[in-house]
């Protein structure tokens, strides 16, 4: 076993016991990056020099704790002071924030070693990392396939051993679907659990930051580092943050698990459906009570998301006007032309499509029919979950409708139907390796009531300990 | 009633996004299909449903009126495409 | 002005910049005249990833203002985004309040020639200001503009009246009254020329007796009381002319051209704006309980109407004086401070409304920037009362106090301005004058009344104005009768 293959937990123990130096850990990761990055293309920016300095500092510390000295990746829509934050968009190709996102700041003060910024769909709008203005990222399990998106770079790098963990964002499945495609663990926490300050907005009422890791234990460790109240984010919750390691238990006897029938319909590929049903049997074996249930408004989630996310996007993206930062058409003769050309050329087709749609949904004549209607149905969707969680501790479903598809193969996010409801309801949801189909990972999605990340981790850990999916790693010829 | 080219043009002006003729065409087709897909919401009676504006049970989140340091002018200008006399420079308004 | 068969209808939208310590949604300090773009942070620069956090003081000021304007304070209100593009608007949207403003249904009273009149306040809402654009020369011809975002994010209250005013004078009175209330509350500096109080007027006309409102024009760029009054006069006249000539009025935005004293249409080629308001997902709603309102109510200071009553009842001042003294909080404070030490309110009022106001206007200053203190005016008035200085000398002393801020005692002493009340000293001068002006003395004896005045003047001149005028008069008469 090489160092880069170990878990966050293992490396942390070795660093704490001085069995290895942070610099050696970084060297192992750097070597791995030099071997596989040209195939994966998971990064937008590498910061190995800065990482080297941090690792040296850590090695000089008297005591090494938490995530100190462990190399990680940061999705390129989380602001990093002095390091380009591009959102994989031509618009922000050269943007260098003068401040750190709160989560980045938390990791830095913990002594985390950031090795780079991770590729993504432009402004997180996409489901395959193909809308990145730089290049698509490739799935380490099969380079002809996408890693999922929008956090494809983050998930692929974790799976390929280029980083030990990554921080990413999830607005409509952007952590969970790539986690499923790349066979790693991805958690979208409760809305308000992790600070959004410094996360470049896509749809503010649904955006949430979360970890991508190789196993459930590492997920708990990263959650411990990033959760908590932040006075700079008004939607941040003051609820106490537990030590998530306490939930890493295998005894789930009597846990009530529901599987919503709307999440097992025809759009889910039969092989994936079978794999998830097998996982449910596993839960029964472990002593959980598994029952079918219904979330009747699920089928409305996609159009509701289309409307709300586009509407919020059209407003949040208005700041990219070429005045204070970002791409600018230098030849325009007046201000309207300058703004229109800068936005027309600096933003990609998927982003522009959403902005224009959102502009339509919010315009005077459409507001009631679309935006207001969507907000009402959003309540119905949330109430479905409220009712379900009166009866169940958590809900289980596939995390994606299929395994990873080929680059250029899909133009529509089919897995959204499974991922989006959790964002609309603001509840925590995670994807864990839950099976294998044709050598490709299958993601199992767990959803819980608000602030029940602990319950999710517990159920995930119990499943993981009874399986070996998380131990499989992609074979990359080097 | 679908969106026409001129509707797309109007949206493009409102959103300050210059579109090529090809983009306009593509978007017109895509938008109409997306709008069609939202029709499914019409079947739900929602007259008595309150819109869900805030997903969190939070209110009155406020801060104290205390000054914190601002950026220096250099930091504020660092990412500006054009600046002059410590201000952001833009082409004429009209 | 005469409006013939038409009645003018005016409503005002007033924006007041609040003088909190920090901006509405970030912790940058407020600035006026600071180095450009030096009171900015990632938040008010609209950088990606930043989030607004509401300044509690903005809400407190809004509640305070609402209470002072007899408004209903909303139990539940929220912030919305108003979306439009402009280079001084960093986020591409302004955080404002659309359908749930913090205050509604208020009123204030003005004093017209026909008596008291109540003007309705439709709403008061909270929002943030934009930055400033600097043009080289004319906005139409400048090749480029420069944006300074120091002002971006400054908290504003927008105060919208009902269309209850019927003349430019009433509009002016409303604005004066509103300004004095805001000044008394201490929530805004209300400097119209600097833009911390801005006013737009909605003006329409209709035939007398008609209930339906006419087509209105919104007039912008009114940065003084005078501009408001003049612009309203012009606009009403213009609208009457259009109708009288058989024309039709269009609903439009017009700007007041101060140089040419006309309103000009601002119609642009672009179609009507659509601001696409929607609730800001980054801010929480505001819930205002009765306890919060009561807490703020307890902090309400005396307001102009109450102060006016007090001056009339307790000090017996004429209503005219009471009105003038309560136009501004600073003026009233000065008056009250002075009366506290010198208990002759009418005398104090005369000096404040007279000499003090004259010197302030002459120097284009506000009272709080003046060096003179209420206490020094009180001291001066005591010197006057005691006869240490004469009324004439008092004006000299006052000007000196105004210019230097020195105490009257020191000025009187340093410049030797103490009134001469020593009988023998005055007698000596009187004798000198009588001896030196035999012709005038002759005239006096022949019954020419003016002659006495001349002699008094001569005595005062020789005494450098310090001789006690009453004694001069008396002694002169005595001496003259003896000759």
User: What pLDDT, on a 0 to 100 scale, did the predictor assign at position C374?
Assistant: 87
Do residues A226 and A131 touch, judged by C-beta distance below 8 A? no
Distance CA A377, CA C24 (A): 33
Distance CA B82, CA C144 (A): 11
Residue C455 lies in domain: 423-481
- Which of these ranges, A219-228, C28-37, C405-414, has the smallest mean pLDDT? C405-414
C443: domain CATH number? 1.10.10.410
Total domains, chain A: 1
With a CB cutoff of 8 Å and minimum separation 6, the contacts of A348 are A89, A90, A122, A131, A133
Residues C153, C177, single domain; the answer is yes
Tell me if residue C179 falls in helix, strand or coil. helix
- CB of B15 less than 8 A from some CB of A: yes
For A330-382, the pLDDT digits (tens) are 999 899 999 999 999 999 999 999 999 999 999 999 999 999 999 999 999 99
Contacts of B5 in chain A (CB under 8 A): none
Contact B17 A352 (CB under 8 A): yes
Residues C153, C205, single domain; the answer is yes
Residue A420 lies in a domain: no
**Dihedral angle of Cα C61, C66, C70, C73, to the nearest 10 degrees:** -120
- Which of these ranges, A278-287, B33-42, C347-356, C393-402, has the smallest mean pLDDT? C393-402
Q: What stretches of A76-204 adopt beta strand conformation (E)?
A: 113-118, 165-170, 185-188
Q: Is the pLDDT of residue C423 over 90?
A: no
- Which of these ranges, C215-224, C296-305, C473-482, has the smallest mean pLDDT? C473-482
Contact C147 B87 (CB under 8 A): yes
Residue A103 lies in a domain: yes
Residues C229, C313, single domain; the answer is no
Q: Is the pLDDT of residue A69 over 50?
A: yes
The interface predicted TM-score of the complex, written ipTM, equals: 0.95
- What tokens appear for C482 in the block? 């003896």
The two beta strands, A394-398 and A256-260, are parallel
Do residues C352 and C334 touch, judged by C-beta distance below 8 A? yes
- Active-site residues of A: which are they? 75, 150, 174
Residue C50 lies in a domain: yes
Contact B60 C87 (CB under 8 A): no
- What tokens appear for A111 in the block? 């002594």
- Which of these ranges, A262-276, C44-58, C63-77, C244-258, has the smallest mean pLDDT? C244-258
User: What pLDDT, on a 0 to 100 scale, did the predictor assign at position C272?
Assistant: 62
Total domains, chain C: 3
Task: Domains for chain B: give ranges and CATH numbers.
Answer: 5-43 (1.10.20)
Q: pLDDT tier at C390 (50, 70, 90 boundaries)?
A: confident
Share of chain C above pLDDT 70, in %: 96
Residue A333 lies in a domain: no
Q: Is the pLDDT of residue A210 over 90?
A: yes
Name the average pLDDT for chain C.
87
Distance CA A160, CA B73 (A): 43
Residues C193, C223, single domain; the answer is yes
User: What pLDDT, on a 0 to 100 scale, did the predictor assign at position A203?
Assistant: 97
Distance CA B45, CA B55 (A): 21
Q: pLDDT tier at C373 (50, 70, 90 boundaries)?
A: confident
Start-to-end Cα distance in chain A: 15
A238: domain CATH number? 3.90.1300.10
- Taking 70 as the pLDDT cut, the residues of chain B under it are 1-2
CA distance B3 to chain A (A): 10
- CB of B1 less than 8 A from some CB of A: no
Distance CA C55, CA C310 (A): 35
Pairwise pLDDT comparison (A36 vs C371), residue with the higher score: A36
Distance CA A273, CA A397 (A): 9
- CB of C50 less than 8 A from some CB of A: yes
Contacts of B65 in chain C (CB under 8 A): 20-22, 55-57
Phi first, then psi: what are they for C313, rounded to 5°?
-75, -50
User: What pLDDT, on a 0 to 100 scale, did the predictor assign at position C269?
Assistant: 43
Compare CB distances from B53 to A328, A344, A375 and report the shortest one's residue.
A375
Residue A156 lies in a domain: yes
User: What pLDDT, on a 0 to 100 scale, did the predictor assign at position C291?
Assistant: 95
Residue C298 lies in a domain: no
Residues C194, C98, single domain; the answer is yes
Contact A357 B50 (CB under 8 A): no
Beta bridge partners of C127: C156
What are the C-alpha distances in Å from C116 to residues A24, A203, C113? 85, 52, 8
Residue C180 lies in a domain: yes
Distance CA A115, CA A33 (A): 10
Distance CA A144, CA A49 (A): 31
CA distance B54 to chain A (A): 8
Kindly report whether the peptide bond that precedes residue A150 is cis, defined as omega within 30 degrees of 0: yes
Do residues A93 and A327 touch, judged by C-beta distance below 8 A? yes
Residues C156, C39, single domain; the answer is yes
Residue A104 lies in a domain: yes
Residue A335 lies in a domain: no
Centroid of chain to Cα C308: 16
Residues C349, C433, single domain; the answer is no
Distance CA C393, CA C380 (A): 10
- CB of A306 less than 8 A from some CB of B: yes
Compare CB distances from A234 to B34, B41, B61 and report the shortest one's residue.
B61
Q: How many residues does chain C have?
A: 483
Do residues A279 and A434 touch, judged by C-beta distance below 8 A? yes
Q: Which DSSP string corresponds to C40-105? A: --TTTTT-TT----EEHHHHHHHHHHHHHTTPEEPSEE--EEEE---TT-TTSEEEE-SSS-SEEE
pTM of the model: 0.89
Residues C27, C143, single domain; the answer is yes
Contact A234 C145 (CB under 8 A): no
Distance CA A463, CA B48 (A): 42
Residue C222 lies in a domain: yes
User: What pLDDT, on a 0 to 100 scale, did the predictor assign at position C139?
Assistant: 66
> Which of C393, C415, C437 is the endpoint of a domain?
C415
- CB of A420 less than 8 A from some CB of B: no
For C148-166, the pLDDT digits (tens) are 999 999 999 999 999 999 9
Which has the closest alpha carbon to C22: C55, C71, C52? C55
Residues C406, C434, single domain; the answer is no
Contacts of A76 in chain C (CB under 8 A): none
Q: What residue in C sits closest to A316 (Cα-Cα)?
A: C91
Q: Is the pLDDT of residue C135 over 90?
A: no
Contact C37 B87 (CB under 8 A): yes
Q: pLDDT tier at A478 (50, 70, 90 boundaries)?
A: low
Residue A377 lies in a domain: no
Q: Which residue has the tokens 């943007």?
A: A95
Q: Which residue has the tokens 């007027």?
A: C201
Pairwise pLDDT comparison (A93 vs C364), residue with the higher score: A93
Phi first, then psi: what are they for C33, rounded to 5°?
75, 20
Residue A451 lies in a domain: yes
User: What pLDDT, on a 0 to 100 scale, did the predictor assign at position A413?
Assistant: 85
Residues C401, C466, single domain; the answer is no
Residue A15 lies in domain: 3-247+428-469
Residues C93, C48, single domain; the answer is yes
Contact A353 B27 (CB under 8 A): yes
Q: Is the pLDDT of residue C283 over 90?
A: yes
Residue C183 lies in a domain: yes
Compare CB distances from B73 to C37, C57, C285 and report the shortest one's residue.
C37
Residues C279, C344, single domain; the answer is no
Name the average pLDDT for chain A.
96
Compare CB distances from C134 to B10, B16, B87 and report the shortest one's residue.
B87
């Amino acid at each position: 076993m090489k160092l880069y293959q170990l878990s966050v937990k293992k490396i942390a123990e070795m660093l704490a016991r001085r069995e290895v130096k942070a610099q050696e850990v970084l060297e192992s990761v750097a070597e791995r990056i030099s071997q596989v990055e040209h195939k994966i293309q998971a990064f937008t920016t590498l910061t190995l020099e800065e990482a080297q300095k941090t690792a040296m500092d850590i090695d000089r510390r008297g005591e090494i704790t938490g995530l100190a000295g462990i190399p990680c990746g940061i999705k390129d829509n989380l602001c990093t002071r002095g390091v380009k934050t591009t959102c994989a968009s031509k618009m922000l190709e050269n943007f260098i924030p003068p401040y750190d996102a709160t989560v980045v700041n938390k990791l830095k003060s913990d002594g985390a070693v950031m090795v780079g910024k991770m590729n993504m769909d432009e402004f997180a709008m996409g489901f395959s990392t193909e809308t990145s203005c730089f290049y698509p990222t490739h799935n380490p399990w099969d380079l002809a396939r996408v890693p999922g998106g929008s956090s494809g770079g983050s998930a692929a790098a974790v799976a390929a051993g280029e980083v030990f963990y990554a921080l990413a964002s999830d607005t409509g499945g952007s952590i969970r679907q790539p986690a499923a495609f790349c066979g790693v663990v991805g958690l979208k926490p409760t809305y308000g659990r992790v600070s959004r300050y410094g996360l470049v907005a896509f749809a503010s009422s649904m955006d949430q930051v979360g970890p991508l890791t190789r196993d459930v234990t590492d997920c708990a460790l990263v959650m411990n580092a990033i959760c908590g109240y932040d006075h700079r984010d008004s939607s941040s919750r003051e609820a106490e943050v537990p030590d998530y390691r306490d939930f890493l238990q295998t005894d789930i006897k009597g846990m009530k698990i529901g599987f919503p029938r709307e999440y097992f319909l025809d759009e889910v590929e039969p092989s994936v459906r079978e794999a998830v049903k097998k996982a449910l049997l596993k839960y029964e074996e472990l002593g959980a009570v598994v029952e079918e249930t219904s979330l009747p408004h699920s089928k409305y989630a996609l159009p509701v998301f289309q409307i709300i996310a586009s509407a919020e996007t059209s407003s949040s993206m208005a700041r990219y006007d070429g005045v204070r930062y970002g791409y600018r058409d230098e030849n325009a003769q007046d201000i309207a032309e300058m703004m229109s050309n800068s936005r027309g050329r600096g933003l990609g087709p998927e982003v522009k499509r959403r902005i224009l749609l959102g502009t339509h949904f919010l315009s005077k004549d459409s507001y009631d029919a679309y935006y207001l209607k969507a907000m009402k149905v959003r309540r119905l969707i949330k109430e479905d979950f409220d009712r379900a969680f009166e009866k169940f501790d958590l809900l289980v479903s596939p995390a994606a409708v299929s395994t990873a598809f080929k680059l250029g193969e899909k133009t529509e996010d089919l897995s959204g139907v499974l991922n989006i409801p959790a964002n609309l309801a603001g509840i925590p949801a995670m994807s864990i390796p839950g099976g294998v189909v044709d050598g490709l990972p299958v993601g199992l999605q767990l959803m819980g009531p608000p602030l029940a990340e602990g319950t999710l981790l517990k159920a995930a850990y119990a499943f993981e300990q009874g399986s070996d999916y998380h131990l499989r790693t992609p074979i990359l010829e080097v | 009633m679908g969106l026409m080219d001129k509707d797309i043009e109007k949206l493009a002006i409102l959103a300050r996004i210059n579109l090529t003729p090809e983009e306009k065409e593509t978007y017109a087709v895509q938008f109409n299909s997306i709008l069609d897909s939202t029709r499914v919401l019409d079947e739900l009676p929602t007259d008595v449903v309150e819109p869900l504006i805030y997903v969190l049970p939070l209110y009155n989140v406020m801060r104290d009126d205390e000054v914190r340091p601002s950026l220096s002018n250099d930091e504020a200008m660092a990412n500006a495409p054009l600046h002059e006399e410590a201000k952001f420079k833009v082409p004429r308004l009209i | 002005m005469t409006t013939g068969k038409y009645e003018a209808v005016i409503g005002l939208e007033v924006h007041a910049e609040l003088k909190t310590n920090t901006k509405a949604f970030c912790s940058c300090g407020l600035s006026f005249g600071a180095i450009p773009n030096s009171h900015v942070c990632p938040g008010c620069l609209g950088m990606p990833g930043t989030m607004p956090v509401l300044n509690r003081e903005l809400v407190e000021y809004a509640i305070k203002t609402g209470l002072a304007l007899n408004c209903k304070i909303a139990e539940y209100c929220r912030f919305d985004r108003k979306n439009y593009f402009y280079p001084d608007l960093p986020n591409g949207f302004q955080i404002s309040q659309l359908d749930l403003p913090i205050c509604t249904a208020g009123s204030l009273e003005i004093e017209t020639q026909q008596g008291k009149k109540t003007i309705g306040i439709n709403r008061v809402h909270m929002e943030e200001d934009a930055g400033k654009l600097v043009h080289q020369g004319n906005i139409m011809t400048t090749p480029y503009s420069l944006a300074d975002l120091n002002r971006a994010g400054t908290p504003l209250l927008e105060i919208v009246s009902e269309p209850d005013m019927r003349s430019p004078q009433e509009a002016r009175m409303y604005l004066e009254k509103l300004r004095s209330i805001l000044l008394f509350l201490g929530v805004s500096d209300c400097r119209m020329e600097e833009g911390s109080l801005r006013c737009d007027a909605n003006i329409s006309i209709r035939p007398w007796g008609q209930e339906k409102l006419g087509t209105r024009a919104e007039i912008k760029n009114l940065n003084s009381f005078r501009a408001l009054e003049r612009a309203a006069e012009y606009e009403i006249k213009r609208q009457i002319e259009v109708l009288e000539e058989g024309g039709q009025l269009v609903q439009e935005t017009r700007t007041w051209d101060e140089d040419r004293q006309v309103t000009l249409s601002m119609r642009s080629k672009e179609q009507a704006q659509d601001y696409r308001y929607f609730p800001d997902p980054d801010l929480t709603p505001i819930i205002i309980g009765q306890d919060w309102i009561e807490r703020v109510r307890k902090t309400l200071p005396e307001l102009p109407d109450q102060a006016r009553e007090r001056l009339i009842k307790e000090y017996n001042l004429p209503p005219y004086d009471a009105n003038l003294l309560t136009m501004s909080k600073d003026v009233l404070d000065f008056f009250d401070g002075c009366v506290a030490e010198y208990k002759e309110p009418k005398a104090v009022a005369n000096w404040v409304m007279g000499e003090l106001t004259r010197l302030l206007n002459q120097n284009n200053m506000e009272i709080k920037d003046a060096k003179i203190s209420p206490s020094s005016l009180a001291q001066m008035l005591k010197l006057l009362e005691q006869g240490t200085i004469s009324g004439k000398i008092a004006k000299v002393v006052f000007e000196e106090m105004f210019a230097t801020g020195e105490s009257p005692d020191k000025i009187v002493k340093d410049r030797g301005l103490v009134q001469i009340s020593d009988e023998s000293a005055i007698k000596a001068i009187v004798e000198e004058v009588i001896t030196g002006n035999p012709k005038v003395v002759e005239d006096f004896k022949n019954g020419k009344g003016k002659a006495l005045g001349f002699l008094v003047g001569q005595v005062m001149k020789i005494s450098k104005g310090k001789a006690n005028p009453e004694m001069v008069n008396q002694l002169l008469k005595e001496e003259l009768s003896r000759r």
